[in-house]
A and B are shown apart, each in its own frame.
Chain A
Amino acid sequence: MKVEQLSLEEFRARLGSKNGLRIQFGPFVVRIQSFLPSLANPLYRLYAFYTLANDDIAEFHVQIVSKRSLRRPFTPFVQFLVDGQAPFPAAPVHHALTMLEWGINLAIAVRVNHFLLFHCAAVERNGHVLLLPAWPGSGKTTLCAALIHHGYRLFSDEFGLMHVQSGNFFPLPRLMPLKNQAIGAIRDFLPEVTLGPEIHGTLKGTVAHVRPPEASIDREDEPAIPRWIVFPKWTAHQPLQLEEMPRSEAFLLLASNAFNYEVLGEVAFDAVTGLIQRCECRKLVYSDFDSALVALNALTDD
C-alpha cells in the first residue's frame, strides 16, 4: 500500500499515532512521528509514492517535536529526535521538512555498516549504475534530478549503498534537496517536476525538495552493478568535456568521501579497488543540462 492511498486525514492521524507513519526507503524502514500541523501537508504530497511498511520492523525511529527556546520564547522552534535523542540543535518551525530529511540521512550515515556507504548520487540506465560522486562544486543532486527525468532510474542523490560481497548497489530513493540557484535551474529545465515548498534560511541557504519519480520508487528493491563513475563539475560558459579520470585519483576521491570507508577497513579497501577496476572513470565539466545529457547518454548507451 502506498502513501497516496491514504487520505490526508488518515496520513495526519498516522503521523500522530503511537505506531507512527512507517515508510519503506529502499532497504530501510523508518518510523516517523510528528504532531506538527504544518509538516503533514508537504510530506503527504512529497511522500505520495512510497510504500507503507506497517508490519515490518522499523530500524529508525524519528520525531519532529515542537520546542520552546528560553532565549527566544516567542519564536516557535522544532527539534529532530532519533530514538528520543537530538543529534543537532532546534531550528525555526518552517525548517521541519529539511530537518526531517537531513536527520534521517544522518541516522543512516552513522548507523549503517552492513553496506559500504559512498557519498554520491547514483542512477541506473540500461541495467547498470552510473555513480556521480560528491566533490566540491559537483552539483550532483542537480544533475541527478535532470537525469532521472530523462530516462535514468533514481537510486539516490546522496548515498551509494554498496553490498560489499556481491558488488551490487541498492536504491535508496529519498527526496532530493535542491539548493539556491539550482531550484530555479531545475524549474526551468523540468517544468513537470514536483517540488516541495521553498524553505529559506537553512544552513545551506534556500532548499526545495524534488519528489522522486514513481517508477524509481516502485523498483526500489532492484539492485544493479555499477559500470561508470563520473565526477561532475558545473562551470558557467564552459564547453562540455568528458575525459578519462586517472584511477588513482578516482580511488582517493571515492574513498575519502565515503561515510564508513575507515570503519570497514580492509573490506572497504578491497571493495573500492574492485569497483574502480571494473568501472569506466570520467571527469565531466558541463554548463548546461542538454549537452551533459547527450554526453552521458553516449557513455551509457549499450
Chain B
Amino acid sequence: MTDRRLNAHHQLLVRALRDPPSLCNISNQDWELLLRLVRRARLLGFLAVELGNAGLLDKIPVRIANHLRSGLIQARKYQQLARWELDRVRWALGEDRGPIIVLKGMAYLLAGLPHAAGRVFADLDLLVLAENLQPIESTLLAKGWQHHELSAYDEHYYRAWTHEIPALIHRERETEVDIHHTLTSPIGRLQLEAAPFREAAVRLPELGIYVLSPPDMVLHCAVNLFQNNELADDMRHLLDLHGMLQHFSSDQPLFLDNLITRANQLRLGRPLFYGLYFCRLLLRTPVPNTLMTRLEQRPGWLALKVMQLCVPLALLPLHPDLPCRGAKLARWWLYWRSHWLRMPLHVLVPHLAYKFYLSVFPSKAANTASSRVTAKTK
C-alpha cells in the first residue's frame, strides 16, 4: 500500500509526522485541518518539538505555532507531574521495596529517547514483583495515595482479569500510578513471562530504578499496541515504535538483528511483525525485508490483508468534519479483536454485556470516578 491509498487527511498527517520541514509550504486551509488532526492524535507537543528542532516554528503561521506551543507546554506539565510522582513513590517506598521497572511514557523519558521530548502521558506505569505488589500497595495507601472509588464490578475486573491493581492516585496530586506485576493480562491468549524482561532490565544508577532493555522496550510497545489496545487514535504509540527503532538503530548497528532474535526467543514475532509492518507503511521506517522474513509467527495473508485495511483507519484520527463509515467499522472490528485477544469468551461476553448495559443506563454506574475507569478499560 502506498500513500495514495490513504485518505487525503491521513496523507496530510503522516507527511507532517514523517517530514515536518515539508510543512513550510502548505496552504492555510491544510494547516487548519492538520492542527485539528494533530490535536486529536495528541501530538501537538511532538510536532512542536520536531518543528522547533528544525528551526521552523517561526516560519509557520503564527496561530498554528501558538497552539503547537500550547500543546507542548501541556505535555511538559504532564511530564513534570509524572517525574515528581515517581520521586514521591520512591520516597514513600524507601529502600526495601524490591526492583521497580518504569514502563511506557515515563520510561521513554528516562531513557532519553529524543521522540519523547514533547510526548503526552498522564500515568506513571510501574512493573513490580508479584510478591511485592501487596506490600507496595499498602505502603502507598498509608502514605496518602488512594484508589478511585470503584464499583464492585470494576474492582473485580481489575484484580481478577487484568494485570494491574486499580490505579492509585495521591490525594494532593493528579498523576495516576498504575502498578503491574505482569506485562499482559493473566487470562489473555498471549501469555508473557515477565521474568526475562526483568532479567534484561537496565538499572538507572542515579535513581536506583530500572527501565526495560532497548529490544524489550520495543517489544513491550508492540505488544501493547497490537495485543492490548484497540488502536483507535493510537498513532502516538506507533510513533513511539518508530522513534525507538530509529534511535536504537543509530546507536547500535545490529539492533534490528538482535530485536528479531529476541522476539523469536520470547515468541513475540506476531506483534513485532505488525509493529514493523505499520511503521514501514505509514512512517517509512527503514526495516529491510530480509529481517522481516526472519520473524517467526508472521500472520497469514488473510489476517494481514484485514489488518492492512483496518489498522490505518483506526490509528489515524477521523476527519473532524466528515464522518467515514469505513473507519468506524474498522475501529469496531479492532475493538472486538482487542477484547478477543485479552479475554476468553466466557469472560468476554458478560463483560461486554455489562458495559453495554452501563452505556444505556449510565446512572447505574456507581459514580463518575468509576465511569472514568470504565472508559479506560472498555
Query: Number of B interface residues, CB 8 Å?
Result: 23
A262 at the interface (CB under 8 A from B): yes
Q: Give Cα A84–Cα B9 distance, bound, in whole angstroms.
A: 15
CB pair A113–B73 under 8 Å, yes or no, is yes
In the complex, how many angstroms separate the beta carbon of A178 from the nearest chain B beta carbon? 30
Q: Give Cα A29–Cα B32 distance, bound, in whole angstroms.
A: 11
Residues in chain B near residue A188, CB distance under 8 A: none
In the complex, how many angstroms separate the beta carbon of A141 from the nearest chain B beta carbon? 26
B285 at the interface (CB under 8 A from A): no
Out of B61, B320, B360, name the residue touching A57 (CB < 8 Å).
B61
Query: Number of A interface residues, CB 8 Å?
Result: 19
Residues in chain A near residue B39, CB distance under 8 A: 83, 111
CB pair B36–A83 under 8 Å, yes or no, is yes
Q: Give Cα A263–Cα B78 distance, bound, in whole angstroms.
A: 8
Q: Most chain-A CB neighbours within 10 Å: which of B35, B40, B70, B74? A: B70
In the complex, how many angstroms separate the beta carbon of B61 from the nearest chain A beta carbon? 6
B191 at the interface (CB under 8 A from A): no
Residues in chain B near residue A59, CB distance under 8 A: 32, 35, 63-64, 66-67
CB pair B320–A55 under 8 Å, yes or no, is no
B335 at the interface (CB under 8 A from A): no
A83-B39, A83-B40 are contacts. A57–B73 as well, Cβ < 8 Å? no
B77 at the interface (CB under 8 A from A): yes
CB pair A57–B31 under 8 Å, yes or no, is yes
Residues in chain B near residue A18, CB distance under 8 A: 321
Out of A61, A70, A114, A264, name the residue touching B36 (CB < 8 Å).
A61
B7 at the interface (CB under 8 A from A): no
A190 at the interface (CB under 8 A from B): no
Which residue from chain B places its CB closest to the CB of A264 in the assembled complex?
Answer: B73
B28 at the interface (CB under 8 A from A): yes
Instruction: Give the residues from 220 to 267 in chain A that come closer than 8 angstroms, CB to CB, to chain B.
Output: 262-265
Instruction: Give the residues from 23 to 73 in chain A that come closer than 8 angstroms, CB to CB, to chain B.
Output: 29, 55-59, 61, 70
Residues in chain B near residue A84, CB distance under 8 A: 318, 320-321
A57-B61, A265-B77 are contacts. A113–B32 as well, Cβ < 8 Å? no
CB pair A114–B70 under 8 Å, yes or no, is yes
Instruction: Give the residues from 31 to 78 in chain B that come closer than 8 angstroms, CB to CB, to chain A.
Output: 31-32, 35-36, 39-40, 61, 63-64, 66-67, 69-71, 73-74, 77
17 A-B residue pairings within 8 Å (CB atoms): A18-B321, A57-B64, A59-B64, A59-B67, A61-B321, A70-B360, A83-B36, A83-B40, A84-B320, A111-B39, A112-B67, A112-B70, A113-B70, A114-B67, A114-B73, A263-B77, A264-B73
Which chain A residues have a beta carbon within 8 Å of chain B's beta carbons? 18, 29, 55-59, 61, 70, 83-84, 111-114, 262-265
Which chain B residues have a beta carbon within 8 Å of chain A's beta carbons? 28, 31-32, 35-36, 39-40, 61, 63-64, 66-67, 69-71, 73-74, 77, 80, 318, 320-321, 360
Other 14 A-B pairs with CB < 8 A, given A112-B70, A114-B67:
A18-B321, A57-B35, A57-B61, A57-B63, A59-B63, A61-B36, A61-B321, A84-B318, A84-B321, A112-B67, A113-B73, A114-B69, A114-B70, A265-B80
